[in-house]
Amino acid sequence: MRFQLAALSLRRHASRTILAVLGVAVSAAMLLDMVMLATGMRQSFASLLGRNGFTIRVSPRGTLPFDTEATIAQARDATVAMRRIAGVTAVAPVLGATIHVLGGPNPVTAFALGVDPAVQGDYELLEGRDPMAVNALVASDALLRATGARIGDTLDVAIGFDPQTRTYTGRRRVTVTGRARFTYLSAEDRAAALRLASVQAMGGADRTDRVSLFMVRTAPNADPEVARLAIERALPRVTALSTAGAVAEAERRLSYFRQLAFILGAVSLVVGFLLVTTIVTVSVNERIGEIAIMRAIGVSRSHVVHQIVIEGIGLSVAGAVAGLILGVFTARYLNSILRGFPGLPDAIDFFLFQPNSALRALALLVASGIAAGIYPAWRAASLPISATLREEAVG
């Protein structure tokens, strides 16, 4: 009976109810989007770093990977030392460089990675084969488009330019053996991967036996933090950063996103609460005489309170369901805009839908709907029956 009366009350003013539900839906969508923004970046970044099982990044002391031009010397000895550490199952050396693809009207500049194809975690091969030969190269789609090259073509590449002699240095003929998606780069970045020894040799004496960073994979039952500390003890000239530490550093740098998400989420929750409270209060004020008659014929106060609270819950639940659909679509749209920022890895998502977080946010909105109905319900149940009937009759 209470649910039927609440439904009849909401249907009595259908247009007002629909507008109220739409208003709550907008608040729910904003709340959901802010929850996805607050949690999505962290989960997406952690997932990106954890791909291929690499749990530790080792870079020159005091720097982040590729944060500067600094490199780690005596890379072979460092690799051997890290492989001896308990829990370490693989060490992937990486050397970054800028290459110039020659032969066209204008040189095409790209970012190159020198890797060990057997243990690399920097790219996902889409077609062809890894650069196992000394003069082999895999390229991103953006680089292939810029050069017009295809798998099997030969490219003339150089790793440096001497402005005094106006000549390119470290030139080498390489064959495109594969097409790849680079994990930590955007889809529009021109990138290539060659064997580590090839990039070191092209760089000359300055790059001999040097790397930009190591990526370290640890056993599933090993504690990455223990391995990280052991690496720093064995190699004092490096900084080892675990995935958890990298995520914490990213959160510190992007903390303003979380603060913004918290503020806007709180505002949307308050707006939804005030909207439901206003609508239910207006509805109760219009039905004061009806409620007084119900009380006069023996309807209990608890029945009146329950009916009005159910109206608030109905508005909140309907708005939350509509807001869930609206929030998912708006999050996808906003995510596509933010992912278009230059230099962001293609795998990064700002808005990540997580069912548990979404349900908690919408449950909070429904709880606010319950709270929104308490005041008008208490007011309606507390009306003096005789005085209210007399005022309504005179009115």
For residue 204, the number of C-alpha atoms closer than 13 Å in the C-beta half-sphere is 10
- Same domain, yes or no: 189 and 79: yes
**Residues of the domain holding 25:** 2-48+253-394
- Whether residues 163 and 40 fall in one domain: no
For residues 229 and 83, membership in a common domain is answered with yes
- Longest Cα–Cα distance in the chain: 104
Query: Does 192 lie in the same domain as 84?
Result: yes
- pLDDT exceeds cutoff 80 at 37: no
Q: Is the dihedral of CA 309, 310, 315, 321 positive or negative?
A: positive
Is 327 among the domain residues?
Answer: yes
Is 86 contained in some domain?
yes
Residue 325 has pLDDT above 80, yes or no: yes
- The 10s digit of each residue's pLDDT in 166-177 is 778 888 899 999
Instruction: Say if 175 falls within a structural domain.
Output: yes
What DSSP state is assigned to residue 311? H
Of 29-33, 353-357, 388-392, the one with minimum mean pLDDT is 388-392
Total structural domains in the chain? Answer: 2
Q: Cite the DSSP H helix spans in the chain.
A: 2-12, 14-49, 75-83, 141-147, 196-202, 224-234, 243-253, 255-286, 288-296, 301-338, 355-381, 385-394
Q: Report how far residue 395's alpha carbon sits from residue 196's, in angstroms, rounded to the nearest whole number.
A: 90
Helix (H, G, I), strand (E, B) or coil at 291: helix
The pTM of this model reads 0.67
Least confident of 13-22, 123-132, 247-256, 325-334: 247-256
